[in-house]
Amino acid sequence: MPLLTHVESRRRPTSPWATISIIVLSVLAFMWLAAAPLDERLALLNRWGTVPARLFDPDAPLIRQLLELRAARLFTALLVHADWLHLTGNLLFLMIFGVAAERVLGSRRFLLLYLLGGAAANLVGALTLSSVNAPIVGSSGAVSAIVGAYLALFPRSRLGLVLPLGLFLEFVKVPAPLLIGFWVLLQLLFTYVGPSFGAVVWWTHIGGFLLGVLFALVSRPAIARRWRN
């Protein structure tokens, strides 16, 4: 149940347009990349992704960095994904947790969390790999921020899963904190396992998750006012 169940609201449920828009834009961006030849696709990933060594290049004049909008790559990286598996995994978690989080936060506040949380998560990842020339791409950090906000907003909720049990598929409801806690442990484990699991990604997950929790807790008074009005 959400943390605001005790607040009486006259609001009618609205369409989660922010979540839908993010999904549509992400799919369109991936289709655009997939249609490009391999060399051009890699160049686009490097151009629009967050490249830590380029972001923290001490030899580049400030005016050049501003003209090239290097800091903007923290945001544009959220829309580009390396492959279908990368895209599908992120959008799946976004659909599971995003709709409920958007309903409580409000679409504009939800979109703000997605963009700022994702950019900040990419910055955390870039700081931990400041000399790396490979781009950080994908919405993992932003989705992690949404997952963190969901945990803070719905600490007692249960998620329905279809699990293979023997020869049959069973629909079971699992406490969301248990699933999210398992997910967080995996992020911590993969962070210390090493580059073979994709060192570029895991700190962005952890940073985004913590930012999402903090954002939801700080936003509680504003959310309560929104639901009362």
Domains present along the chain, CATH in parentheses: 17-228 (1.20.1540.10)
**pTM value surpassing 0.95:** no
In 3D space, the residue among 107, 20, 116 whose CA is nearest the CA of residue 75 turns out to be 116
Can you list the positions of beta strands (E) in the chain? 158-165, 168-175
Which listed residue (26, 139, 144, 205) is catalytic? 205
Which listed residue (139, 140, 144, 219) is catalytic? 140
Active site annotation includes 140: yes
**What are the distances in angstroms from CA 132 to CA 79, 107, 127, 136, 193?**
20, 35, 10, 10, 18
Residue 206 half-sphere exposure toward CB, CA atoms < 13 A: 17
Residues 136-160: tens digit of each pLDDT = 898 989 999 999 998 888 888 876 6
Residue 165 pLDDT > 50, yes or no? yes
Mean pLDDT score, 181-206: 64
Q: Two tokens at 67?
A: 């003209």
CA angle at 138 for the pair 184 and 47, rounded to the nearest 5°? 145
Q: Two tokens at 129?
A: 């790999």
pLDDT of residue 199: 46
pLDDT of residue 71: 85
Residue 10 pLDDT > 60, yes or no? no
pLDDT of residue 59: 76
pLDDT band at 29 (very low <50, low <70, confident <90, very high): very high
pLDDT of residue 195: 46
In 3D space, the residue among 108, 53, 54, 50 whose CA is nearest the CA of residue 76 turns out to be 50
Active site annotation includes 6: no
Which residues lie across from 164 on neighbouring strands?
169
Mean pLDDT score, 41-53: 90
How far, in Å, CA of 178 to CA of 114, rounded?
23
**Mean pLDDT: which of 12-16, 38-42, 190-194 is highest?**
38-42
